[in-house]
Amino acid sequence: MMNIQETSQFDYEHQHKPEPYVGNCYLTPNEHMVHKALLSVSKAMKAYELLDYLRETEGVRAAPTVYRALNALEEKGLVYRLVSTQQFIARSTVAKTGETCLVLICDRCGSVDMIEDPQIISALDANAAQVKFAVRSRKIEFVTTCRDCK
Ligand SMILES: [Zn+2]
């Protein structure tokens, strides 16, 4: 009896949860489309590359629509902008506030991976503090050759 109740409660939530949410984060239809596309390619893309991709797959015409969605998704913590290459990658979950990832980028195929290691981050912050700099934001990127491109 207990199990059946739990199951039907889960089904209720599942059926009534609006599609455009990622976690608790609401996305507009455009943001949802851009996020889904970037997740599905699972590599880093420049804005114009993503626009080309969306033109082919979704018939998107207006570039500002895509650029606005990318900016909004970055603010919401669902897209990460690589400083070194000006490319975007999608996150499947919302970034926590203040969270820092070490990003590995393959400069041959554009594949990307992320490492989360709070110990490395706090060691770097401590080094910065020693030379009297208070860290306010961090972007740490490694240009690499991935296993497939070796
Ligand atoms: Zn590669």
Q: What is the distance in A from the centroid of ligand 1 to the CA of 150?
A: 7
Cα atoms in the Cβ-side hemisphere of radius 13 Å centred on 64: 0
For residue 120, report the distance from its CA to the centre of ligand 1, in Å. Answer: 25
Dist. CA 59 → ligand 1 center (Å): 29
Distance in Å, CA 80 to ligand 1 centroid: 19
Q: Please give the distance, rounded to the nearest whole angstrom, from the Cα atom of residue 109 to the centre of ligand 1.
A: 4
- Which among 55, 138, 50 is positioned nearest to 89, based on CA atoms? 50
Question: What residue ranges in the chain does DSSP mark as E strands?
Answer: 21-22, 25-26, 45-46, 79-81, 87-90, 102-106, 112-115, 140-144
Domains of the chain: 1-91 (1.10.10.10), 96-150 (3.30.1490.190)
Tokens 């401590």 -> residue: 126
pLDDT at 98: 58
CA 62 to ligand 1 centroid distance, Å: 31
- What does the pLDDT profile of the chain (150 residues) look like in tens digits? 444 444 444 444 455 555 678 888 899 999 999 999 999 987 889 999 999 999 999 998 889 999 999 999 999 888 989 888 889 988 887 776 556 778 888 888 888 888 888 888 889 999 999 999 998 888 889 989 999 999
Q: Ligand 1: distance of its center to the CA of 44 in Å?
A: 11
Q: With CA atoms as reference, report the closest residue to 94 among 113, 110, 121, 75.
A: 75
> How far is the centre of ligand 1, averaged over its atoms, from the C-alpha of 118 (Å)?
26
The reported pLDDT for the residue numbered 83 is: 86
In one-letter notation, the amino acid at residue 128 is A
Q: What distance in angstroms lies between residue 147's CA and the mean position of ligand 1's atoms?
A: 7
Which string of DSSP letters, residue by residue, matches 64-99? HHHHHHHHHHHHTTSEEE-TTT-EEEE-SSPPPTT-
